[in-house]
Amino acid sequence: MGQKTIQPTRLSGRVKVPPSKSMAHRAIICAALAEGRSTVENIAFSDDILATIEGMRRLGARIEDIGGALVVDGIRQGQAMGGTPEIDCKESGSTLRFLIPVALKMAHGARLIGQGNLGKRPLDVYTKIFDEQGIAYQAQGPLLDFQVSGQLRAGTFSMRGDVSSQFITGLLFILPLMEEDSELIITTHMESKSYVDMTLSVLADFGIRVENEAYRRFIIPGGQKYRATRYRVEGDFSQAAFFLCADAMGSAVQVEDLKRDSLQGDSAVLDILQRMGAEVCQEDGTVCCRADALHAVDIDASQCPDIIPVVSVAAALCKGTTTIRNARRLRIKECDRLHAIAQELNRLGGKVVEFQDSLEIDGVEMLEGGVQADSFSDHRMAMMLAIASQKCRLSISIGNPGCVSKSYPGFFDDFRSLGGTTE
């Protein structure tokens, strides 16, 4: 488990953030479903991505790492590895929810296992469909152990839009391969639209057509085929957000490999920091966020939950009171992030009040530090605390810093390269 002690230090320099984990999941799955050989470039082998790679191998894809790129030979139905495939999702909710429909189509089922809080992630959107279609399933806990068998059929699927968009994406991956047409009917307001946009974009790059009717209805023609292609994964805004917030709080960091017109929902960090008073600059192929002072704003977390931990740090240093709304989904991440954010920022000397689905943060000039901080074994909490350290008067120690391997294994290497100190 271990710990790292971090001294307050202003960060400075250039950093190339890892490729988008969200886009990488999608590209790997699409490549594995394509006929022929694809190349997926700019891959970072985080625990979550390794889970998806190995899951698609279990379903019959041949995937080879050639120095940070993947060469993928697509699955032919029936190629799944012996009997019912067992897929270890580790702690990746994306791997779990994306691969359940894929496994039903390509292998008529699978056993999906996992660790940590993954077993607490709801699957009721799928189980309702399985009940309607006579697909057998069994769930055991507390750790994830979900078994499913049967054949998913084309048809009309109704689901809420205010639950995880991962269910929508999972169905969008596989319904184009059905012989008949299908449609998804969204019965409520759609949250996390950007994640659906990312899915539709990657599907289109691999030759799949889906008609989006204002996020209320998705029409998916059957009988389609994925087209093998060469795909490059763009830089990850959910990871860049840590260094962009650091920049806005007084560091001098330039972040490489970001698309200003990205479909990633977490690119909202640029808008949030701009509204707080930062100037977003593009310099020599990099993005930075400079500010003389930050002021409080209202933040809607529904479309960008993953950046809320580090945005909360920026809010804690703003003049005035920031409210972060529509954040209930943060309670079912790797930890209860609403509680964890409030607890740890308050221990550092912040002023945070936790509500059922929101946070209220009164800004302070500086944080105190001088504590043993708890990462809750959550990668985004560990990185949040590291960034918070630069605005502390005293050093902080972070428990289980190695949990960053879930999404950003090289985070502390990059942190040190920018002048951060860790012991």
Angle between the 166-174 and 193-205 helix axes, to the nearest 10 degrees?
20
| Predicted confidence pLDDT, tens digits, the chain (423 residues) | 689 999 999 999 999 999 999 999 999 999 999 999 999 999 999 999 999 999 999 999 999 999 889 999 999 754 555 578 999 999 999 999 999 999 999 999 999 999 988 998 889 999 999 999 999 999 987 889 999 999 999 999 999 988 889 999 999 999 999 999 999 999 998 888 899 999 999 999 999 999 999 999 999 999 999 999 999 999 999 999 999 999 999 999 999 999 888 999 999 999 999 999 999 998 778 999 999 999 999 999 988 999 999 999 999 999 999 999 999 989 989 999 999 999 999 999 999 999 999 999 999 999 999 999 999 999 999 999 999 999 999 999 999 999 999 999 999 999 999 999 998
DSSP 377: T
Locate the domains of the chain by residue range: 3-18+235-422, 21-232
Does this chain's domain 3-18+235-422 share its CATH topology with 21-232? yes
The single residue of 73, 247, 306, 374 carrying the catalytic annotation is 306
Q: Do residues 168 and 28 touch, judged by C-beta distance below 8 A?
A: no
- For β-strands 70-73 and 37-41, DSSP reports them as antiparallel
Cα 233 to Cα 192: distance, rounded to the nearest angstrom? 20
CATH superfamily of 21-232: Enolpyruvate transferase domain (3.65.10.10)
306 is catalytic: yes
- Claim: this prediction has a pTM higher than 0.85: yes
Fold of 3-18+235-422: UDP-n-acetylglucosamine1-carboxyvinyl-transferase; Chain (3.65.10)
Cα 100 to Cα 77: distance, rounded to the nearest angstrom? 15
Q: Do residues 61 and 75 touch, judged by C-beta distance below 8 A?
A: yes
